[in-house]
Amino acid sequence: MTESKLVDEMNSSSTLDAIEQMILRISWLAQRQFIQLLDDERFNLTLTQFYTLLHLAQTNGECKMSDLAEATQQSAAALTGVVDRLLDKQLVERTRHERDRRQVMVQVTPRGLALIAEIRQARREQIHAALGHLPAADTERLLELLEGVLVGMSRILERSEAGRLA
């Protein structure tokens, strides 16, 4: 910080409230902007399709439908339709588990992997355009703080999931 202030050790409410306001605005803008990018003729994916495919791309090998549903925060019923469409586009393959025939396994295809790579490249270019002008020290600090945000968010998500199961 450039200037020393008389700050409490504790978080002041007003800072967190301002962060709430800021996150409201950034989230909406970021989401809309990303949807627009995904709508490009090169990609032509919905947000849900992207995040579903992303998880598969980051998974080594096959993924069980129910695991995929939990990881992407969708219901099993909703996921069925999403995977149907990814299948139409030949971005994933669907097979049955060899031993437990109830389980449906999904796996990303090379084509799906290539598409995810393309999209993330385009996304990185957007990020560079948006944040490239900031000093390196700022972006490094931002990364550290975002890590803290992710940890905090995961924590309250776990709590609410625990509550749902209880």
Partner DNA sequence: TGGTATACTCAACATTGTTGAATATCTATA
Partner DNA sequence: TATAGATATTCAACAATGTTGAGTATACCA
- Non-local (6+) Cβ contacts of 139 within 8 A are 131
Query: Does 64 sit near DNA (CB under 7 A)?
Result: yes
What letter does residue 91 receive in the DSSP assignment?
A: S
Tokens found for residue 6 = 């008389």
How far is it, in rounded angstroms, from Cα 134 to Cα 130?
A: 9
How far is it, in rounded angstroms, from Cα 166 to Cα 163?
A: 5
- For residues 128 to 157, the per-residue mask of contacts with a copy of itself, x marking binding by CB under 8 A and - elsewhere, is xxxxxxxxxxxxxxxx-xxxxxx-xxxxxx
Q: How far is the CB of 7 from DNA (least distance, A)?
A: 40
| 108, interface contact from a copy of itself, DNA, none, CB < 5-8 Å by kind | none
In the list 60, 99, 160, 163, the residue contacting a copy of itself (rule: CB under 8 A) is 160
How far is it, in rounded angstroms, from Cα 58 to Cα 41?
A: 24
Query: Does 164 sit near DNA (CB under 7 A)?
Result: no
Nearer to DNA, 54 or 82 (CB): 82
Segment 5 to 44, residues that bind a copy of itself, using CB under 8 A: 7-12, 15-20, 22-34, 36
Question: Strand 104-108 relative to strand 63-64: parallel, antiparallel, unpaired?
Answer: antiparallel
How far is it, in rounded angstroms, from Cα 64 to Cα 16?
A: 39
Segment 76 to 115, residues that bind DNA, using CB under 7 A: 76-83, 85, 94, 99-105
| 43, interface contact from a copy of itself, DNA, none, CB < 5-8 Å by kind | none
Query: Does 59 sit near DNA (CB under 7 A)?
Result: no
List, in sequence order, every residue forming a beta bridge with 93; answer none if it has no partner.
107
Backbone angles phi, psi at 106, to 5 degrees: -120, 145
| 83, interface contact from a copy of itself, DNA, none, CB < 5-8 Å by kind | DNA
Binding site for DNA (CB under 7 A): 46, 48-49, 64-66, 74-83, 85, 94, 99-105
